Amino acid sequence: MTANFRNTAFAAIGLAVVAMAGTPGVPAAEPLISQGIGTSNCEQLAEDIKPAEGLSNPINLLLVAWVQGYMSAANIALLEDDGHHVDMSAFDDTKVLTLMQAFCKVNPDKKPITAIDDLIRKSAKVKAKWELGTIEWDE
C-alpha cells in the first residue's frame, strides 16, 4: 500500500469516525453514513446540505465524494457501452451541492441518486478512445 493511498484511507476513516460520533449542527450525519448518502431520503438531507460551508461541512463532503464516485462508475459504464463519458470537471463542489439542495427541497420524497441519474442522462457526453474490456477485474 503506498503512503499516499494509506494517508487517504486514514483520512476517510477519520472522517467517518467524526461524522458517526456526532458533529454539532449536523444531526443527520450518523444515519447518512450507515445507509449511504445517495440512497437517503431527500427530506432528511435537504436541510443538512449547506453549500456556503463548502467541504468543511461533513454532510457536504460526504455528498460530493459520493457524487464523484457514482459519476465515475457511471462513466465506466458509459465508456464500455459506447465510448462516451460525462466530463466531470464541470461539476465542482458548489454546483453539486446547489443542485442537490435544490432537488431535495423540491422533491423531499425522492432520493439524491435520482437527481444524479437525471444529471448523467441530460449531460453532454464526450467521445473518448476506449477499448472494451480494458479494465480487468478478474485477474
pLDDT at 69: 93
pLDDT at 31: 52
pLDDT in tens, 100-123: 999 999 999 999 999 999 999 999
Structurally, how many domains does the chain consist of?
1
133 inside domain: no
138 inside domain: no
91 inside domain: yes
139 inside domain: no
| Whether pLDDT at 62 is above 70 | yes
Mutual angle of helices 58-82 and 3-21, in 10-degree steps: 130
Phi, psi of 39, rounded to the nearest 5 degrees? -110, 10
In the chain the first and final C-alpha atoms are separated, in Å, by 18
CA separation for the pair 51, 43 (Å, rounded): 17
* Residue 75, domain extent: 3-127
136 inside domain: no
The alpha carbon torsion through 2, 4, 8, 13 (nearest 10 deg) reads 50
Q: How confident is the model at residue 74 (pLDDT cuts 50, 70, 90)?
A: very high
